[in-house]
Chains A and B, each alone.
Chain A
Amino acid sequence: MSEIVSAPADQPVTLSEKTLGSIAELRGRYEDPRAALLPVLHVIQAEHGHLTLALERAVADAMEMPLTKVHEVVSFYTLFRTEAEGKLQVCICQTMSCMLRGARELLTHMRVKYGVGPGETTADGRLTVHAVECLGNCEAGPMAQIGDDYFGPLTPETLDEILEKR
């Protein structure tokens, strides 16, 4: 999933005082400060949109860990993104319960109406679609996570309504 970022994106990044403050606070929550890596990466990603190698390096410095340890974590977990994403992420669950109730139609609809398949971003940079595994909302299948919120059961029409409002 994660590729080594090419040189232009790899200019050194300096984290802001505020970010460094959040990192220090998060590290203080754990008996071993390195345990704060996942929450720290969430904070950095929320601020920058996605994690470049330069950001990983800055995190490694702030966390006093080797870069490889940061990179292997970033590349292991699906919520950490290494490429630019649209403003709104539409994660459509495709696992069994949602599949049985028509999850594929939602993906097809995104392709037909917005011209984007899984992993793709609309030309205006508004939406990125992801086909994801179980989001733990099986009772409302087929469902999607749009931004931070869960929506379901969805039809192509209700999905459109939600996307228009955002």
Chain B
Amino acid sequence: MRGERTEMPASEQRFLSALYTQEKMHTLKVARQAGAYAQAERVLKMEPADVIAAVKASNLRGLGGAGFPTGMKWSFVPPKGDRMHYLVVNADEGEPGTCKDKHIMRGCPHTLLEGIIIACHAIHAEKAYIYVRGEYVRPMERLSAAIDEACAAGLLGENHMGTGRRLVVVVHPGAGAYICGEETALIESLEGKKGQPRNRPPFPAIEGLFRCPTVVNNVETIAYLPFIFEHGPEKWSEWGHNGSGGYRLMSLSGHVERPGVYELPMGTPLMELIEKHGGGVWKGRGLKAVIPGGLSAPILRAEECADARLDFNTLRDMGTMAGSAGVIVIDDQTPMIDVMLNCAHFYHDESCGQCTPCREGTWWMYRIILRIAQGRGRLRDLDELVRIASNIEGNTICAFGEAAAWPIRSYARKFRDELAAFIESGERSREADWHHEDRGAPPLIQIEGVGMPGVRAGV
């Protein structure tokens, strides 16, 4: 059972991954044998304010990527009045490099539902929506089946778990838009509109879904709640590191021998993840760089990685971020121009188009980087990219602006020598041809001396 694992060294304990790797754990019968819903039953007898205090004490942070303290987010919800309160579970997993939430939905959906019961009790919500990215057809099937089973067993629905209250959980499919992972865009999308973020204030806790108080939490954040109440918030906080409580699912991808999702304590050294768990850089090659927290995290050069530990505060202090814990490893044979071009294309493609600095800025960054990749770069382009990125940062409604600006700026600054040498060589990257052939990038016209944003012909 769950409790026995507490005697193990912290680095060897497993929680969610111990469940979702077991066969049939998605069924209610097997999940209950493993202790599912026992914590929900206990928490439902607590005062909601005490539940929030416990979550605050656990140092649980938003694991979708923002790292906002979960208990504090809940405490912003006003006392229950006439309006409905909502919990919205963000399962629009789309930050490149992140592939953890689908394991929870597919492998142990009842743990997520138990977490939902706990969270809804804390924030006085009688309805929860799970917004799942549209491509996750199979995880959605599992989730829906689990909800049906839980309803039939009286764990959800009218008078759920004998509380005399109602709790309805609805699975809502997205339709393919990265921006819908942003909480206010997600709310717009859930209301049946284009996923374009809202201005804040009002914050969702005051006015969110259908203009009612709403808490939006990531799947993983919610799914850890039962474990926090099982082991106690103090223990959870202690297992973590530097202000981030407990554990998280770290997605390891790119140039490693064993890519995968590894559940490790907060503060695990980055190189331990890559070497011990991931088997090191693939094909015996050297390490060039690591993107430590999903594509929007600024890059770390190999020599910076030794000091990096995977928790929110440590990585923030290093000038990058823990984000969604999507760790992307890049080997020493990868040209940085290819990494930059791929990243710029992603943000250019996914900008929702609402704010001018982001819509135009991501377009310009992509075009300039594409031109460099085609062997027509100019040294001043690198400064230009930093300038454009800095003009996007802080000037948009949502954090997509920073997500697009930070990585590009970090590549231009940290790999300036390599990129400058590439520009001076006049070489052409094979990626550039492919962007033209397969990604519909328009042919380029070069006019001497024209290259500043505002003059389209130059880029």
Contacts and interface: CB of A to CB of B under 8 A. Distances in A.
Interface string B377-404: 0000000000000000000000000000
Contacts of B127: 31
A136 B295 contact: no
Contact of A138 (B99, B170, B191): B99
A139 B254 CA distance: 8
Contacts of B190: 35
A79 B97 contact: no
A37 B174 CA distance: 10
Contacts of A73: 192-194
Interface in B81-121: 84, 93-99, 101-102
A76 B177 CA distance: 8
Given A31-B210, A38-B173, A96 B343 contact: yes
A100 B336 CA distance: 11
A83 to B, nearest CB: 15
Interface stretch (A6-14, A141-149, A158-166): A141-149
A30 B98 CA distance: 30
B385 to A, nearest CB: 18
B191 A35 contact: yes
A34 B191 contact: yes
A104 B434 CA distance: 8
Interface string A30-55: 11101111110110000000000000
B193 A141 contact: no
Nearest to B91: A136
Contacts of B352: 76
Contacts, number: 157
B191 A95 contact: no
B176 interface: yes
A36 B175 CA distance: 12
A101 B137 CA distance: 25
Given A72-B194, A139-B99, A134 B136 contact: no
Interface stretch (B255-263, B302-310, B363-371): B255-263
A148 B190 CA distance: 22
Nearest to A76: B194
Interface residues of B, number: 61
A96 B136 CA distance: 20
Contacts of B330: 100
Interface string A94-130: 1111011100100100010000011100000000000
Contact of B255 (A34, A36, A101): A101
Contacts of A88: none
Contacts of B102: 136-137
A32 B99 contact: no
30 contacts: A31-B210, A34-B191, A34-B192, A35-B191, A35-B192, A72-B194, A73-B193, A77-B174, A78-B177, A79-B134, A94-B439, A96-B343, A100-B330, A100-B334, A131-B438, A131-B439, A133-B346, A134-B94, A134-B96, A134-B346, A135-B135, A136-B99, A136-B101, A138-B253, A138-B328, A139-B260, A140-B259, A145-B135, A148-B137, A149-B137
Given A107-B434, A136-B102, 17 more contacts: A31-B127, A38-B134, A72-B194, A73-B194, A77-B134, A79-B175, A95-B342, A97-B97, A117-B438, A134-B94, A134-B346, A135-B135, A138-B97, A138-B259, A139-B252, A139-B260, A139-B261
Q: Lowest 6 A-B CB distances belong to which pairs?
A: A37-B192, A77-B175, A78-B176, A97-B253, A138-B253, A79-B176
